[in-house]
Structure 1
């Protein structure tokens, strides 16, 4: 048990154990819930309750009383066996698991989330998926998304292509949320597909009643049955468990550390809403099912970095990447796409050494335009490539992919500034900006 010292004495005096339903009263406020274990390094004076709403709260025991309502067992996860029968009237959907919170549980000893489920456990914990489609599951990786690497994008794209070639009518990729928008962008450039490819995840693990994993998976399978044959991201639309938004894979970004509706379309709007596995189309400008043949092009250059400009930035940072043999740099500039003038010589050096540099903006919304001010024009003359209105993370991935196609700077520039997967808007619009 993670409780010790004062918190352990507090529980022992009332003969309360982990898993019991208890009532805590403090300062004329009462809390009823299940007593949970906690991490071993947690505050000694706090205990953790799971409320009926599904949320966990910490309560300081100072001036508090606790009473037993009902004895219970330590929370654990168990699943009934799943009877899988093939139905030729349903579509065949493949789920590829790469890990992340969507396929994770809580380690009550440490309080940490670990990706310990196999891909098959996604079916055991979400048997309703079988009501929507014939489901085939594969575990490609078992990692948290901060450990994602470009080489994993390459292998993920190959695995998806294999599933499509084998007859899958749609593919769902279970992924950690922290780098999901990097992966959705990479897959968007690497694969042209006749069927939907849907990336999904969860902000809260499957053993929590407040988890978003179940709804996201259900609606992602529904999206994989749709007519939208693009790479998309399917995640909670609101804080409630009502429906999901289906975002274009090159126009989406994680915007909050913990909210379940963290993913938002940037300078665009969702392609569709998905509720109970049923898709409601919001736009009709998307690639349709069976419109394109399967094409896999997953060559990528890994020696690409992101540099974020800031007041006082030194040219040493640009020179470092040149000296280390980087083939491309993605710059998050200020405003319309600016860098301090003290970096100009380093930018010119990079251009002379045929290192591609793409400019985006830290502003997230809006379009880079380096023709407005003199600094921007100097940067263009020094060889910087405008990233137009691409999200920085998308432009980073596209640059790495473009350098996998060609080492010629002019060809790379042409790829960067050509709309390939809906990553570029023809015109700017303020209507997408979040008020």
Structure 2
């Protein structure tokens, strides 16, 4: 039985989206204000959202598997968040002084993260990673970082270096190059970034040892989304922990995306005990937010009542009350039971996709965990970035797959993790699996 809706008569990209994109080109350098917006060949413009669905500029309802890059764990217009924000708007949007709401959200989050004693709010995941790296430098007195090849950690020169390598420049397996993502990055940045291949226990251990005297921290997303959304090998996590302890290096866990993996986040799921954690996305309930959490000793670099900060950190909109009340409402609703329900749906999706792949013997595989999944145009699921990297022909396959999903009422990201929301149910899950089954049936000779 297939659950894929029939394709609508209109084209994948609506006429209204094309019209709006032409208007965007008049005011923005490339037509939009986010490089992450997918285009085929133009972006899909949205007029609103409701529960698990988006409504595009022409009024079509689309099952949303992007959820603003995994941010909206409850989907769109989640009532408790809407009510909390509406109530706060009547009292004000932002102040130079603190409010009780930041304490409430901080207490909630610290109650869920076993390794964190203190927390500090910022405005985005990028800021959270940036200030966490700065905190590691301030605490250790060392300038360098180690990071996983291909992983995304926001827009900070050191965090970006090593993210965007290709077969032409990423260097040999035993010595991956610290390739800057952007033109014009100072050459000195690469000298302070040691790139590690995910799940390469021996190679990563050797590279950490070689650079240990300059490394302040090892930045690790326990399941790096843009690098392939694959699980860490237990021995890899164990090696990172032991190497960090041996050389006095901090572990910085980037939980901006993967905090949605469980009530305690993905660090608990994979046995990682970090010194610092960067948070964002779901903790803001759909509003801008970021946070740095960690051990009390390390977090004291931000200051204490009787200590001048080694790392002064502020921000006009940091801990603004709208984000605080929205985040509290969203996270308070994410109980242990609700995380379990989301994970069960995620497992149902991954099992369903894997069964179709096995039965059809097509060149696809699936990775992910909890409410996250990613389809790869490869027969074997990748275990590190170089295996997940897509060739032009593989990218074309994924573009066809995404277009097929869109034509059947589902928004599927091409180069990032797909995610579920609490607004979804088993019927939505069956629709996802059925749409993939239809694609395989229609494209069996093309893959």
TM-score, with length taken from structure 2: 0.27
Q: Pick the structure with more helix per residue.
A: 2
Between structure 1 and structure 2, the one with the greater Rg is 1
Q: Pick the structure with more strand per residue.
A: 1
TM-score, with length taken from structure 1: 0.28
**Greater relative CO (CA pairs within 8 A, separation 6+):** 2
